[in-house]
Structure formats: structure tokens, C-alpha cells
Amino acid sequence: MDESVPALIRIHPRDNVLVLTRTARAGETVRFEGRAITLEAELPLGHKLAAEPIAQGEKVLKYGLPIGTATEDIPFGGHVHVHNLKSDYLPTFTHEAGHRFAEES
């Protein structure tokens, strides 16, 4: 693995998640802005790690925009995925009876 290539990028300055630019092995240490993150499990390109501690109930921002809400406290470097991030959209999207597009008249 070429260690000179950054393994993580922050897409938008407002983002509180980082995106893996390549597959990272279990036990591998990747760095972002000098801080080390050691991965517990192998994660492929495109997966997200917390850029800062994210509290339960806080919005997760990618592309500078909310992609959902954290369902538990996530530490710096923690894997952010279906186990701790919930869509703000899908509950209303999937239940036709309660479905309402915001402020639709």
C-alpha cells in the first residue's frame, strides 16, 4: 500500500465524516490531518469514518448536507454506517399512509 496516498478525504469542509479512498485492512492505521485511526475491520473504498466525535441525535453531514441522524455516540474515527446512522427520510418515504413530503400543499 502506498502510504503517501491519503486513505481518507473530507468531501466538504462542513462534513463530520471522512470517506475512505481505498480499501483499508483490519488493524491498519490510517491518518487524517495527522491524527491516527486504527481500523477494527476491513473497510472498502467509499465507507465513512467520523471526522470528529458525533453525539447521538446529531446530524451526519456529507457533501456539506445532512445524510441522516446518528443513533448512538460515535467516537472520532468510528465507522459510520447502517448500525449507527439512520435516514431522516426513509421512515416517511416507506410508509405510504404517513407519508408527507415536507410542506407539500
Partner 1 sequence: MEPFQAYPRGDGSKGIRNVVAVAYVIECARHVAQKIVGRFDEREVHLFGWSGCYPNEHGAQIMERLCTHPNVGAVLLVSLGCEGFNRHVLKERIAASGRPVELLVIQQAGGTAATIQQGAAIVEELRERIASLPRVPMEMGELIVGTICGGSDATSGITANPAMGTAFDLLIADGGIGIFEETGELIGCEHIMRERAANPQLGAELVKAVQKARRFYETLGHGSFAPGNAEGGLTTQEEKSLGAYAKSGDSPIVGILKPGVRPERNGLYLMDMIPDGEVRFGFPNINDTAEIVELIACGAHLILFSTGRGSVVGSVIAPVIKVCANPETYERMAGDMDVNAGRILRGESTVQDVGREIYGLMHRVASEEPSCSEALGHQEAVILYKTFEALGPACFPA
Is residue 90 classed as helix, strand or coil in its secondary structure?
Answer: helix
47 binds partner 1 (CB under 8 A): yes
Angle among Cα 12, 27, 55 to the nearest 5 degrees reads 45
103 binds partner 1 (CB under 8 A): yes
User: Phi and psi of 97, rounded to 5°?
Assistant: -60, -40
Is residue 76 classed as helix, strand or coil in its secondary structure?
Answer: coil
C-beta of 91: minimal distance to partner 1 in Å?
A: 10
21 binds partner 1 (CB under 8 A): yes
Q: Given the rule CB under 8 A, which residues bind partner 1?
A: 4-6, 9, 11, 19-22, 43-48, 62-63, 65-68, 80-82, 85-90, 93-94, 101-105
